[in-house]
Amino acid sequence: MSTPYSTLIILSISILSCMKYVFSTNFYRDFDISWGNGPGNIHKNGKVLMLSLDGYSGSGIQSKKAYLFSRIDMQIKLISGNSAGTVTAFYLGSEGDNRDEIDIEFLGNLTGDPYTVHTNIYTKGSGCREQQFHLWFDPTSSFHTYTITWNPFMIVIYVDGTPIRVFKNLESIGVPYMKDLPMSVHSSLWNADQWATRGGAIKTNWTEAPFKAWFRNYNARGCVWMNGESSCISGSSKTINQDWYTQKDLDISNKKKLKWVQENQMIYDYCKDYNRFPYGIPQECYHN
């Protein structure tokens, strides 16, 4: 059913698709191939990355720089056709057992069925904050922009400029928040057919391999971590005056978009899983 908010979102997507992006992407410069099929996956003089998955290996990248607060944009075109069993990931993550992590994972499906966008927030090694959504467009036919903003006040995940998830800094009421560990940018493509598609009921069809996902127009703005210190710690960085860094809440327009997504596209919310939390949902659910 068409709503004012769905019309607004479609209009936003149309505008974004017509924009000429001027990001100075260079995957050779900005990333290391962390595992998998090697640097041959980078094309067009560093402007385009292709991650692949076959019966032998998946593949992944990690940014050369780490950040303590950042806004990260990546345009991704997901695996077309039968992608069941596969996971294409785009996330921020720190090192170690007590890691922080902000996850966007695209769970593949049978041809014609929607991708599931699986999101999760880890703080100090603890996750279990999953929210899942179906996209309102075909993410395999063209590139779309996926954004993670992480500042001292909140985390927001966007799809083509539309917020789909907010996680606020609620340390004042005892909810851990990521503010101490620098995180690198990661993308990967791997096989997870034990759980990814319909709880593992649909397995990967290896006759259709190699599976390929494409990336371009990476853009990172943030507090670069270097020599054990954030570039923003002195207060001299231009980053601390940027809108994404100082934002404490969504504006009215984005709150309406978020509400539309959560009412129409959300398929799982840990905050509503009372069987999982019989003694009470997590504290942040009352505020986010």
pLDDT in tens, 206-250: 999 999 999 999 999 999 999 898 998 766 677 788 899 999 999
- Choose among 80, 74, 33: nearest CA to 159: 74
Query: 70: which residues sit within 8 A by CB, 6+ positions away?
Result: 92, 148, 149, 150, 183, 220, 221, 222, 223
pTM of the model: 0.89
CATH of the domain at 180: 2.60.120.200
Q: Would you call 130 a catalytic residue per the annotation?
A: no
Given a cut of 60, whether residue 288 has pLDDT beyond it is: yes
Domain residue limits at 29: 4-286
Place of tokens 């609620």: 170
Given a cut of 60, whether residue 17 has pLDDT beyond it is: no
Residue 22's pLDDT is 40
Interaxial angle between packed helices 252-264 and 4-18, expressed in degrees from 0 to 180 and rounded to the nearest 10:
110
Q: Would you call 101 a catalytic residue per the annotation?
A: yes
Residue 285's pLDDT is 95
Residue pLDDT, tens place only, 47-74: 999 999 999 999 999 999 999 999 999 9
Tokens (6 digits) for 59: 């593949």
Residue 36's pLDDT is 87
Structurally, the chain folds into a number of domains equal to 1
State the catalytic residue, choosing from 101, 130, 208, 263. Answer: 101
State the catalytic residue, choosing from 95, 105, 229, 263. Answer: 105
Residue 224's pLDDT is 95
